């Protein structure tokens, strides 16, 4: 009888320890997914802003060289933040496999 109680106590302690580990992993993954979601939302906002900026058609019908140079300069200025955002989103999406892999927090172990 004493042995059965000790076995049950050990099993119960193992279950509690495993539960605490899974809880920690779940909290960590929730934080990672929340951060990922926030970065995606920020990216969507920036895309909307870029879309609005790029919706303005450049004046390419002009024959005045200064006007065309001005339009070219504006296009180059618009390109810089777009290039920067592409780098940011590549970094964000490079972490996606890590997040997906970490989603399995060992629930099948029990």
DSSP per-residue letters across 71-90: HHHHHHHHHHHHHHHHHHHH
pLDDT digits (tens, 9 = 90+) for 65-85: 999 999 889 888 888 888 888
Model's pTM, two decimal places?
0.57
pLDDT (mean) for 28-51 = 86
What is the C-alpha to C-alpha distance for residues 110 and 108, in angstroms, rounded to an integer? 6
């Amino acid at each position: 009888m004493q042995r059965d109680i000790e076995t049950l106590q050990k099993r119960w302690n193992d279950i509690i320890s495993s539960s605490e580990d899974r809880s920690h992993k779940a909290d960590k993954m929730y934080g990672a997914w929340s951060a990922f979601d926030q970065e995606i939302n920020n990216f969507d906002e920036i895309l909307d802003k870029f879309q609005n900026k790029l919706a303005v058609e450049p004046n390419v019908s002009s024959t005045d060289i200064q006007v065309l140079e001005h339009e070219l300069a504006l296009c180059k200025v618009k390109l810089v933040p777009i290039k920067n955002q592409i780098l940011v989103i590549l970094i964000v999406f490079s972490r996606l496999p890590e997040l997906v892999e970490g989603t399995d927090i060992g629930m099948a172990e029990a």
